[in-house]
Structure 1
């Protein structure tokens, strides 16, 4: 049985926690340190008081013990940063799986003073693989990884291990990883179906990059994207992604599957003057219709006041491609820019979908987004649909397109073709409704 902490004072403070890590380093050849930084925690303290903030942190600590067990070595490194120690040899894929467990678990909201708080985290991980690496060095590496995670727009988790001499060394290693991955065909596109919520028919898909690491298996490519941005290789990686996506669209067309495919664009790609020509050349080479391709931009990029971005988007739209705004509501939308931007679709960020059942404000935000999309004559798409209840609410609100684990995660190309051959998720949905009722 897991014993709950009744107070934050029972947690090891920074100094005691460091002493514990040094003791572990003396007795264990291998272990990993995970630093967990609670994002937007200042919102709680600002909205309520210090006591409410402590209550949220205490709930987080006790939930972490539920996830990883009562024997987890855990300490409070600073106000809203916790340290977790995992003994034994831990590969990057294992530690990233632990990170995913953490994120998935905290999709369920925390409550203080009758108000819900969704906890999200920046996470830095360092693994000790050499006995001569000191506890102090490993802590320093974990702190550097946490800093990387905070600066990474694509993924909130960064991993390092002790065979890198410095953060620079880590970056150079990642650059080599990226060069090798592209040369050896280690990169692969996965596809998450976009579904008509009324019929459950597959109407499109978002393609997502995955890295088939030779040692650690299939990984999310956050570290490679980080390297690409740092070493000005993002355009090269972006070219690979676009080329691979359009090649897959041609293959889908050849087997009679005619649906739109969405491709995520990074900010730096929109500053590449060669982007429109690349898209035009690939569309002609693969003999596909331009309107079958949708380019997804993050909210901050889509609403940028940059003349360069506007010019690029104008050229892309003239070619017939569709432009979609991703993660709407996650940032700080400038509605005057949104008014003037020509979009084919707006995607509602999953954080507003996951709490639809409990939070009337989230429901109001979804309704407001629907009104905006209707006025702009563009599609509204819900991301992160995970429950039948969320699906039913979205349909009641007039949202008829979406994606999420309720239907399917991102899958490899062969699996996606099999899903398209079935054509819809009627049976999947029926099975989930039956399971929920039973």
Structure 2
């Protein structure tokens, strides 16, 4: 039974929660679990102290309880990790929808005395049928999913099915899964809009891969990418993504959406001698100029082999393609490499956006990236924009473009088209509402 708690100690701890899971499993045909980690909560206790941190945690716990009244049990697994148990089997898409519901409802800050905190979350999910239920395996999969969620680049959510419980056995089937997925059309591109922050006009989109699994529904393709890297199929998967971006650009043009598309590129592709000829061929076959596309590579790729990377990037830029450094500032303090790379865009890692309205250092870092962008004569894009405060501060700093959950999650093509065709009216009304409330 979900209820409001007066103290953190009144919330069932890990052992009490697992006991409830076992009892529920005996009474139900299937169960689902969500582990909810409060992102960077240690910053709260460091800044405000343990007492205020505990008050914030209690508020978070009670708000989660109220949001998910359909849960069979709520618990606190560790310091800032909570758990929800449901006495039914949800699909991965249904669990991801619950994650999005959670994130959306925590965009309103939590207040305590003169302090406020906007909570963000990593969520790992698992489901189990009673026919082969193991409490140890069930909890372990949920915890492994939470670990994966913390590592995900675009979505802080991960799901592990019972098919994933034996990683060694699973690895033997990954190559077959990838081959089947490519052969049977199970892969799909979703689109994360890139917007002009001044008026929320959609100017482009980042192409993100999704796997329409025949049993588990829509999944993030982490395991497929691992398989592609392990079995030397990364080029095949990468070129599938690029060609589908060309195909879907044609569909966007057909409905009057003249935008750019960004595609993530792997180190394997960047070092492939066939990359340039393949892009030329796609441009010719689909009758689309390469200026309409952007390739995104991470800092570690840019640094991994500077001479070879520089040569390849120079040639790609000569074709008209834009080059973007993704997750800029996340992993490297040496900025000398950026001087010699021919790039068009720096995308600021979302970790710097998270606390930009409260953390002066994060704001200073973003201002510094803006100065670097100006010097390089390249665009600066902020990713991970989730609150109106983020938007306001980024405008003040002078960041012109961004993307994030504040505008929308990544969308399949049909939904993206519908969203983009209404972006002007949506943006106008959104700005009017914010000007009244700010």
TM-score (norm 2): 0.81
Checking the alignment, whether the CA contact within 8 Å between 1:124 and 1:142 is kept in structure 2 is: yes
Counterpart pick for 1:429 among 404, 421, 427: 427
Cα separation, 1, equivalents of 2:52 and 2:159: 32
Checking the alignment, whether the CA contact within 8 Å between 1:154 and 1:222 is kept in structure 2 is: no
Checking the alignment, whether the CA contact within 8 Å between 1:129 and 1:163 is kept in structure 2 is: no
Encode CA deviations 1:74-123: one digit per residue, 9 max, x unaligned.
33334444333121122222222223333444455667897766654444
Pair 1:393–1:124, CA change in 2 (3 A): closer
Cα separation, 1, equivalents of 2:28 and 2:234: 39
Encode CA deviations 1:125-170: one digit per residue, 9 max, x unaligned.
2211233423223223333434444555555433223355612334
SS in 1 for 2:29: coil
Residue 137 of structure 1 is matched in structure 2 by 137
Encode CA deviations 1:267-308: one digit per residue, 9 max, x unaligned.
444354543343233234333323222111234434556555
Residue 371 of structure 1 is matched in structure 2 by 371
Q: Which residues of 2 match residues 55-94 of structure 1 at below 5 A? A: 55-69=55-69, 72-94=72-94
Checking the alignment, whether the CA contact within 8 Å between 2:262 and 2:293 is kept in structure 1 is: yes
Task: Tell me how far 1:29 sits from its aligned partner.
Answer: 2.0
Q: Which residues of 2 match residues 14-413 of structure 1 at below 5 A? A: 14-43=14-43, 51=51, 54-69=54-69, 72-107=72-107, 119-150=119-150, 152-153=152-153, 155-163=155-163, 166-172=166-172, 175-198=175-198, 200-214=200-214, 218-250=218-250, 252=252, 258-304=258-304, 308-350=308-350, 352-353=352-353, 361-385=361-385, 391=391, 393-404=393-404, 409-413=409-413
Cα separation, 2, equivalents of 1:240 and 1:186: 12
Residue 5 of structure 1 is matched in structure 2 by 5
Any gaps of 5 or more consecutive residues in structure 1? none
Cα separation, 1, equivalents of 2:260 and 2:10: 54
Residues paired across the two proteins, number: 436
Higher mean C-alpha displacement, 157-166 vs 337-346: 157-166
Checking the alignment, whether the CA contact within 8 Å between 1:194 and 1:202 is kept in structure 2 is: yes
Cα separation, 2, equivalents of 1:212 and 1:88: 22
Task: Tell me how far 1:27 sits from its aligned partner.
Answer: 1.6
Task: Tell me how far 1:263 sits from its aligned partner.
Answer: 0.9
Higher mean C-alpha displacement, 293-302 vs 403-412: 403-412
Pair 1:63–1:177, CA change in 2 (3 A): farther
Encode CA deviations 1:151-210: one digit per residue, 9 max, x unaligned.
555554332233556123344555444332221222222334433444554433222223
Pair 1:4–1:199, CA change in 2 (3 A): closer
Higher mean C-alpha displacement, 42-51 vs 77-86: 42-51
Pair 1:99–1:172, CA change in 2 (3 A): farther
Higher mean C-alpha displacement, 132-141 vs 247-256: 247-256
Checking the alignment, whether the CA contact within 8 Å between 1:129 and 1:161 is kept in structure 2 is: no
Any gaps of 5 or more consecutive residues in structure 2? none
Pair 1:189–1:161, CA change in 2 (3 A): closer
Pair 1:130–1:26, CA change in 2 (3 A): closer
Task: Tell me how far 1:404 sits from its aligned partner.
Answer: 4.4
